[in-house]
């Protein structure tokens, strides 16, 4: 039996990440090779012409799974009936801008988009926030879309997770598919904590801990962490543009694992609403290790946390509390 199409919203769809992301969705990379999709692309009025150009390209690519395209600058039309929403649009920090200025711009964007999703999205719509500050934008969205279950509002730290896998794979000269269970704790910012203490690599004699194979704690506790934390900035420096291809790919990974499930014995990193696990303050959107089944994520419990990790996890939680306070001060 042919499946019914799933409606997927991409905001900021005419931008760099959107342009990389929509063909991946139309090809079945996000939801599976047998899942038809209808793409909803939303952007701001100044981008309307570019957005129409993207729509023309989607039509020209003749994707077999693509059953329709809605390209619009109207949030209500964009959000109507969507099952999955990937929130890429946001206000980027420009030179000389204070954090508060960026935050207040994004608070107003996410407040209005939340209202449109709240009223018009399909019940049980799954939301992934990509635009920075991603964790706090997701929190604002949750605040103003109260009927969307809190478990359905997430933010993207899979890009950081994939970056960490990539660094280990390069260091050990092994295929990245043989590395698993790195963790990104906390904020999608330079305070995030990439943790390899529970990560393993597939070898001919079974799975071995990353620390045992790398045999260099100085690198793992130092350069590895800062490389992952600052990878986005390094790509901007090299490309003169931010990381669009890898962000789009990891957004697909995030949704695919959430909807279709994580492989047995594998966990991934997702920014989710904290329930107090690992002594992370409840009420923050914080990146945890999760497993997914039947369209639901569950925080991996009971992992031992050493003193060094604890400090780093608390530091990034502290930053998220400050961001939350700043965002709420922009609301009043």
DSSP per-residue letters across 180-211: E--EEEB-SSTT-EEE-TT-EEEETTEEEEHH
Q: Note the pLDDT tens digit of each residue in 195-224.
A: 999 999 999 999 999 999 999 999 999 999
What CA–CA distances, in Å, run from 267 to 2, 130, 261?
31, 20, 10
90 is in an annotated binding site: no
106 is in an annotated binding site: yes
Which pLDDT belongs to residue 99?
A: 81
What per-residue confidence (pLDDT) applies to 328? 94
**Does 292 score more than 80 pLDDT?**
yes
pLDDT in tens, 108-148: 999 999 999 999 999 999 999 999 999 999 999 999 999 99
- Alpha-helical regions (H) of the chain: 16-26, 48-60, 75-79, 99-120, 134-144, 158-172, 210-214, 217-221, 223-229, 231-239, 245-260, 307-331
The pLDDT-based confidence of 285 (bands split at 50, 70, 90) is very high
pLDDT digits (tens, 9 = 90+) for 241-274: 999 999 999 999 999 999 999 999 999 999 999 9
Name the average pLDDT for the chain. Answer: 97
- C-alpha atoms less than 13 angstroms from C-alpha of 274 in its C-beta half-sphere: 22
Which one of 40, 188, 198, 254 is the catalytic residue? 188
Cα-trace Rg, the chain: 19
Q: Was 52 annotated as part of a binding site?
A: no
The answer to the question of whether 99 is labelled as a binding residue is yes
Q: Is 285 annotated as a binding residue?
A: no
pTM of the entire structure?
0.97
Q: Does the annotation list 14 as a binding residue?
A: yes
Q: What per-residue confidence (pLDDT) applies to 100?
A: 86
Is a pLDDT exceeding 90 seen at residue 47?
yes
**pLDDT of amino acid 257:** 98
Is residue 188 among the annotated active site residues? Answer: yes
């Amino acid at each position: 039996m042919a499946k019914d199409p799933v409606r997927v919203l991409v905001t900021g769809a005419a931008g760099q990440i959107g342009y990389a992301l929509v063909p991946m969705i139309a090809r079945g990379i996000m939801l599976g090779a047998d899942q038809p999709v209808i793409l909803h692309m939303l952007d701001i009025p100044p981008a309307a012409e570019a957005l129409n150009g993207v729509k023309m390209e989607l039509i020209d690519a003749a994707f077999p799974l693509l059953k329709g395209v809605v390209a619009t600058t109207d949030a209500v039309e964009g959000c109507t009936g969507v099952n999955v929403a990937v929130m890429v649009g946001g206000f980027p920090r420009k030179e000389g801008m204070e954090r508060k200025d960026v935050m207040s711009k994004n608070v107003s964007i996410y407040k209005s988009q939340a209202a449109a999703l709240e009223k018009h999205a399909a019940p049980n719509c799954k939301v992934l926030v990509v635009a920075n500050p991603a964790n706090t934008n997701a929190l604002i969205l949750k605040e103003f879309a109260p009927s969307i279950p809190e478990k359905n509002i997430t933010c993207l730290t899979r890009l950081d997770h994939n970056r960490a896998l990539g660094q280990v794979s390069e260091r050990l000269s092994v295929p990245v598919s043989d590395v698993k269970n790195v963790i990104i704790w906390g904020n999608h910012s330079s305070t995030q904590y990439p943790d390899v203490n529970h990560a393993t690599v597939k070898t001919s004699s079974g799975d071995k801990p990353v620390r045992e194979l790398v045999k260099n704690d100085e690198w793992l506790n130092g350069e590895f962490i800062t490389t992952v934390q600052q990878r986005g900035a390094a790509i901007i420096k090299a490309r003169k543009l931010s990381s669009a291809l890898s962000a789009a790919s990891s957004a697909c990974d995030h949704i695919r694992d959430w909807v279709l499930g994580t492989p047995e014995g594998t966990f991934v990193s997702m920014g989710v609403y904290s329930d107090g696990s690992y002594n992370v303050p409840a009420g923050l959107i914080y990146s945890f290790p999760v497993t997914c089944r039947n369209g639901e994520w569950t925080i991996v419990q009971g992992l031992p946390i050493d003193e060094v990790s604890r400090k780093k996890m608390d530091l990034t939680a502290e930053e998220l509390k400050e961001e939350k306070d700043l965002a709420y001060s922009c609301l009043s």
